[in-house]
Amino acid sequence: MTIQMEMQDKNLSKIESIKKEKPQSFDKPKKKFNYKKLIIILIILLVLSGIGFVVYKGYVLSKGIGFKLDSSSLLSREEPELKKDSSGQLTNALIVGIDTRETGEEHSTDTIIVLSYNHSTNKALMISIPRDFNVEIGKNSGWYSRINAVYATAENKEEGTGLKALKETVEKVTDMEIQYYGMVDLKGFTKIVDAVGGIDINVEKSFTDYLYPIGKSYKTVSFEAGPQTMNGTTALEYARSRHSQQNNEGSDYARARRQQKVIVALKDKVLSSDTLTDPRKILEIVESLAKNIKVSEFTINDIEAGLKLANKFNEQNGKIYSFVLDPTSGNYSLIEVKSTEPYAIAPKEGLGKYTNIQEYLEKIMKEPALYSEKPNIYVYDTGLGNTAVQKKITEMKKEYPYINITFNGTLFKDKEGIAVYSNTEDYADSIDTLAKYLGTEQKTKPDYITTKSGSTGVTILLGKEVQLEKE
């Protein structure tokens, strides 16, 4: 989690001592005292004092969060950059949400999200790990349980080690190097949302949860489909609800997807001009964070680099893609529900084995748009020939192993060229990706196709090679 502040040194005006000559005559009348000038000076001093207080208070609060004032970064003329992984392309951050009860006792980490930004493509991925995902609790312990127990278990053994232990566990599961990590308490989340004036969310499906936890009891929360502005409390209820019986919204996986939507909406609001130009809002955010967050150490260089990246992301229309490591991941091939524990999930290849999951993550990081849209792909022979078509399908399945690719038969035997299209507007990015892979610019339905073939996904027509006319 990045807190974006910008501190700039201002050149102090030089104060010169001017010796005044004594007047030659005492008969000259005394000058009138310039009260107007005095008032202006006092106003300037008050403004400067106020700015100084805000800067000082911001620094003190930031220091409590994890801010490190590094004098070398203040004097350095090098372009500020965020830390990157060993590939030199990715910056990865771990975002954790925790529920601290009224007693002050920290409970399980119910929100675990890896945010990965690709500096080359200006694309970001959010990968949620459900709290019920089974991992080894403690190094070489042989004890496997839900990942939301990692933090509390480590903290009980040695205070201050929980977040680091969770970071290391997530790195082991994903094979991703994490440069930054932060954990926010639910109370802090609501205060941040309220500080920016609420967030705008488009609720995709209506649902009601009759068992939303409130202390030792429950209450009912409901959400109607459609765009709406949520305050901190409502946004938290939307992000936490998981007991609805409607529209498949009553699971930890649905909750994870809603949490990602809330994070994106909060990012949009925090980076809006209305927030960044309002010192009061910035200070409220920092105060909320200081009391309800734990993060890895960060410096002015990180802050400046983060602000620069945020501007680039917005100005160049950067995209965020969301994924959840649930049983549907990788076309249902990676994760399974454990029969021995209710709701618990684990890798299909075995406890503590993450090779297939890591290969899947590598694929979605390479082609996030395609795997985010997850189209069913229907391939037709329109002239290439059955043998060549089957060979091409085999190549495609190897390139995109977690996408459904099906041969749907022969439509024509004499058509030329390749076409990639869809009868809906839901797969624009997938069409671009597949057309580039197949080397075609034909991304609309050809005139010779009169039916809605492949109407539920993406259609690929493989015709024979185009014959160039001889001059």
195 with 275, same domain: the answer is yes
Domains contained in the chain, number: 3
Q: How many secondary structure helices (H) and strands (E) does the chain include?
A: 15, 20
| pLDDT tens, position by position, 253-293 | 999 999 999 988 988 887 775 666 666 666 666 666 666 77
Looking at the fold, whether 166 and 273 belong to one and the same domain comes out as yes
Q: How far apart are CA 42 and CA 187, in angstroms?
A: 40
What's the pLDDT at 294?
74
What pLDDT is recorded for position 98? 86
Full residue range of the structural domain in which residue 201 is found: 90-366
Cβ atoms of 432 and 379 closer than 8 Å: no
DSSP reduced 3-state for 292 = helix
Q: What is the mean pLDDT of residues 62-79?
A: 51
Both 119 and 52 in one domain: the answer is: no
Half-sphere exposure of 452 (CA within 13 A, CB side): 5
Q: Clarify whether residues 269 and 155 are in a common domain.
A: yes
Is 12 contained in some domain?
no
**Alpha-carbon distances of 129 from 259, 279, 343, rounded to whole Å:** 12, 35, 14
- The pLDDT, as a whole number, for residue 185 is 84
Measured between alpha carbons, how far is 152 from 48 in angstroms, rounded to an integer? 45
Task: List, for residues 405-432, the tens digit of each pLDDT value.
Answer: 999 999 999 999 999 999 999 999 999 9
**For 416, which DSSP code?**
B
- pLDDT at residue 67 above 60? no
| Residue 352 tokens, joined | 């503590």
Sign for the pseudo-dihedral over CA of 89, 266, 227, 99: positive
Banded pLDDT at 3 (limits 50, 70, 90): very low
**For position 50, what pLDDT does the model report?**
40
Do residues 203 and 346 share a domain?
A: yes
Q: Rg of the Cα trace of the chain?
A: 29
Kindly report, residue by residue over 338-347, the tens digit of the pLDDT: 876 778 999 9
Extract the tokens encoding 187: 């109370």
The type of residue at 175 is D
DSSP state at residue 464: B
Let me know: does 129 contact 111? Beta carbons within 8 Å: no
Residue-averaged pLDDT of the chain: 81
CB 369 within 8 A of CB 429: yes
Report the 10 Å Cβ neighbour count for 124. 22
218 with 288, same domain: the answer is: yes
CATH at 453: 3.30.70.2390
Check whether residue 193 and residue 53 sit in a common domain: no
Percent of the chain topping pLDDT 70:
74
pLDDT in tens, 93-110: 999 988 765 444 556 788
Question: Is residue 277, in this structure, part of any structural domain at all?
Answer: yes
Sign, CA torsion 137/138/143/144: positive
Query: Which segment of 60-74, 217-231, 340-354 scores lowest on mean pLDDT?
Result: 60-74
- Residue by residue, DSSP assigns 321-379 as EEEE-STTHHHHTSEEE-SSSTT-EEETT-TT--HHHHHHHHHHHHSHHHHHH---EEE
Q: Is there a contact between 417 and 456 (Cβ–Cβ < 8 Å)?
A: no
> Looking at the structure, do residues 205 and 284 belong to the same domain, yes or no?
yes
Query: What does the block give as tokens for 312?
Result: 């680039």
User: CA 214 from chain center: how many Å?
Assistant: 28
Strand partners, 320: 124
Residue 219 shares a structural domain with residue 144: yes
Does the pLDDT of residue 46 top 50, yes or no? no
DSSP labels for 18-78? -PPPPPS-TTSPPPPP-HHHHHHHHHHHHHHHHHHHHHHHHHHHHHHHTEE--HHHHH--S
Q: Is residue 30 part of a domain?
A: no
CA within 13 Å, CB half, 85? 16
Task: Give the residue carrying structure tokens 């500080």.
Answer: 195
What is the pLDDT, as a whole number, of residue 30? 54
